[in-house]
Structure 1
Amino acid sequence: MTHPTVLNISCYKFVPLPDAAALRDLLSARAVAADLKGTILLAEEGINFFLAGSADAVRGFVDALRTDARFADVAPKESWSASVPFRKMLVKVKREIIRMDHPTIAPAHGRAPSVDPATLQRWLAQGHDDDGREVVTLDTRNAFEVDHGTFDNAIDWRIDKFTEFPPALRAHKAALQDKTVVSFCTGGIRCEKAAILMREEGLTNVYQLEGGILKYFELTDGAHYHGGCFVFDERRVLAADLSTEPQPATEENTINK
């Protein structure tokens, strides 16, 4: 079997970008010149991007992005496919790179604590954190994404869009009070905002899963997770070894659902 040659990356960073409109034109030109496909979202709160192409082209784009001091530490998650799972290159400026409609949540001004994949795997295996407190995982994704796979016994509030997360949290907050809560999502962006909101709402033992499910797959054997991880491109679902077969696009396969 030949090794897939298309490199797929996903990455985000919350950082103030008052020049988002100017960045749109610059990054669009770079991506098109490199023959990349995917989506780049820009907002005053940061950047979120999903790109695919040859390894040299993708990594060259990231190297150029890192020359801007605001993006010097970006660390994309990587996976491989046999074909490009995007049909076009889109660069958009939006109000939020992930819409929550909760303007007081500003990760660029202070992140919630995070837990790395290996530590979460160890906590789940032993059933508690390092202080002996019960650990629960909280899936912050949309219900149709959760249906493709999630952590064992994860809390799932069956939300249909991320703007429903704040009221769902307030309805269920009491059940989380004495537990260590690890929020998770596909790549980290939603669970980062979710963790900050939970702390703002008075929950103290809250972490986000660093890098989300994709980083968990990359750095562990996927234990304590069942099923695959839905991704917003034509691959649709990635297995724990980050492998997949390309599938036809559907209406679900659009970024920022």
Structure 2
Amino acid sequence: MYYLVKNFRDKSVTLRIKIYGESSSVRVVTPNNYYHEVYVMSRKKETSRNLERVNINGHLVPIDRSRKHHRGWETYWDDKLEGLQSVMEYLLDIFGIKKVTTIIVSPDTMRLLDVLKERQGNNYELYQYDRLTKVLRISGLSSNFPIGKYLQTIDTLCVGSKVSITLDDLLNMNCVELLLSKNRFTSTEIKRLLQHWAIGGLRRLKYLSLWVSDLNMEDVFGELTHTRDDGKERIKECTFHLFQMIEFD
């Protein structure tokens, strides 16, 4: 079957690959939005030990192709994230599709963004649930999740749990809006961040919401004396907006 599909399918029909993190599935979609879906299930949910096994990207896994599954097949994996990546690569290859068109992320599948970035850069549509967006509102991530690496490609990020992020991540971010509701930053870190902002860094940033511990207002704002290119003091404008955008204990 692999040989027949790969070599004899109608290549004039442009197909798309979509990944659905919430339902752990990969779809092959036609121009008319018809699709075939392959689900990635936990091995614990395998109800029959008599299922056929197929080789998907080097992994011999059980598959249920019975008609009771509307528009899709179920595959069973020990590691669901590995399963999603393997099914994705398999379908891209068998249908001759060069790149994933769309990914709908969930907290469990955020790591797939690393895979896509390595294979095709940032050339894909990123959704959360059913909305096209570069806005991510996330909760439930583990405290060691490296969210900082995504701050170059996301316009707005709102995270409702503590994550792994450094001052350097903030200084190098490209966000328009950033809200971190559980991480704590020191007065010294905020001082460096605001100084960087005042001299022209973080050019796209419009809104910043952070929790700050032991903030000394005079110390933080006292040394921000940078002037704009037109010679006017920039700090008056920056101080007002930054004060509104930072939340304090």
TM range (shorter): under 0.3
Higher relative contact order (CA 8 A, sep 6+): 1
Per residue, is there more strand in 1 or in 2? 2
The alignment's TM-score, normalised by the length of structure 1, stands at: 0.21
The alignment's TM-score, normalised by the length of structure 2, stands at: 0.22
